[in-house]
Structures are given as structure tokens and as C-alpha cells.
Amino acid sequence: MINKKFDILSGTAFLAVGVFFIVASRGITSSSYGSNVGPSVFPTLLGVILVGLSAIVIYSAITWKAAEKKKSAMAVGRLFALIGGIVAYILLFEPAGYVVSTCLFLTFAFQLMERGKFWKSFFIAAIFSGVVYGVYVVLLQGTLPAFPEFLTEMIVGGSR
């Protein structure tokens, strides 16, 4: 099944991406010292190919006899709610710290998948985030100094 509208839309988007890369390649400072081929050649070439391929997709979508597919509205709503939840999770991730943000997100997501049994959801969420944090921090202490902000964020607990 081909979703005609999506194909035209996505084809156009990829066409725009191709054009963007071709145009933006011209702005690359070309210091092709020691090489005949500067840094702009490869992306320009790819941009041209992408434009060509997108044209094929758009063309075949326009000439295709449409057959649209549908998804249940409830599932779509749930998907968007989950995506919204992830956005909030990412925004809260550093300010609120790992345990708090993860616990909130998981509780929300469990409830989203199935209403009810709030405390059970909260309990699983708390255990998961606590265990991950505990294990990671135990390992962090000895061996991974590369992530200091993670720890400091947690200790300070909120000031970014």
C-alpha cells in the first residue's frame, strides 16, 4: 500500500534536503590542499543524486492510483501523548535529575498504556529508575569520570 499524500510530502522534503545540501556546499571554505577534490564535492554529488531520487518518488506518487490507509484514532492519540511525554522527559532530564524525571516519565507512560493501578505503575517506575541510577553511579565512581555533569546535576538537584 502506498500513501500518496505522504509520498508527495516526503519526496518534496527530501528534494528540499538535496537542494539545501547542494547550496550549502558552496559555502564550504575550500582548502583542498594536497587533494584535487575539496570537501564540497562529495556532498554536492549526493545532493544531486538525492534531488533525482526524490523526483522519481514524487513522480510515481502522483501517477499512482491512490489507496489510503487508516489507523485507529485512539492509538494515534496515544502515540502523540507518548511523544509529548518523551519531550517533557528530555526537557526535565537535566533540571530534575535522572531519578525524578525517569520516575515521572515511566509512571506517565505506564498509565498511558493502561489506566488504573497508579501505585503499581509508580512502584515499577521508582524501582527501575532507582536501580539504573544506583548501578550506574556505582560504576561511575570508580571508572567513568567522563560524565561529571551527570553526578553534579544529581547532587545539586535542579540548578542547571
Partner 1 sequence: MSTFEYLAVGFSQALQWHNILFCFFGVFIGTAVGVLPGIGPSSGTALLIPITATLTGMLNPADAATSAIIMLSGVFYGAMYGGSTTSVLINTPGESASVVTCLDGYQMAKKGRAGPALAIAAIGSFIAGLFALVMLAILARPLAEVALKFGPAEYFSLVVLGLAAISGLAGKSIPKALIMMVFGLLLSTIGIDSVSGSERFVFGAFVLYSGIDFITIAVGMFALGEVFKSILDKDHGTQDFPKIGRVLPTRDDMKKSFMPIVRGSVLGFFTGILPGAGATLSSFLSYTLEKKISKHPEEFGQGAIEGVAGPESANNAAAGGALIPLLALGIPSSATTSVLMGAFMMYNVAPGPLLFDKHPKVAWGVIASMFIGNVMLLILNMPLVKIFAKLVEVPAKILLPIIVAICIFGIYAVQGNTFNLALMLGFGILGYFLVANDYPAAPLVLGRILGPMLENNLRRALTGSNGDYSIFVTRPVSAALLFAAILWIAIPIFLKKRKKNLPLGV
According to CB under 8 A, which residues from 73 to 112 bind partner 1? 75-76, 78-79, 82-83, 86-87, 89-91, 93-94, 98, 102, 105-106, 109-110, 112
**One-letter identity of residue 27:** G
How many residues bind partner 1, per CB under 8 A?
A: 71
**Least distance to partner 1 from the beta carbon of 124, Å?**
7
Interface with partner 1, residue 21, by CB under 8 A: yes
3-state secondary structure of 44: helix
Interface with partner 1, residue 63, by CB under 8 A: no
In the window 119-138, what residues touch partner 1 (CB under 8 A)?
A: 124, 128-129, 132, 136
Q: What's the burial of 3, exposed, middle or buried (CB within 10 Å: 0-12/13-18/19+)?
A: middle
**Least distance to partner 1 from the beta carbon of 91, Å?**
8
d(CA 133, CA 144): 14
d(CA 147, CA 11): 40
Element (H, E) at 104: helix 98-113
List the one residue from 26, 65, 116, 143 that touches partner 1 (CB under 8 A): 143
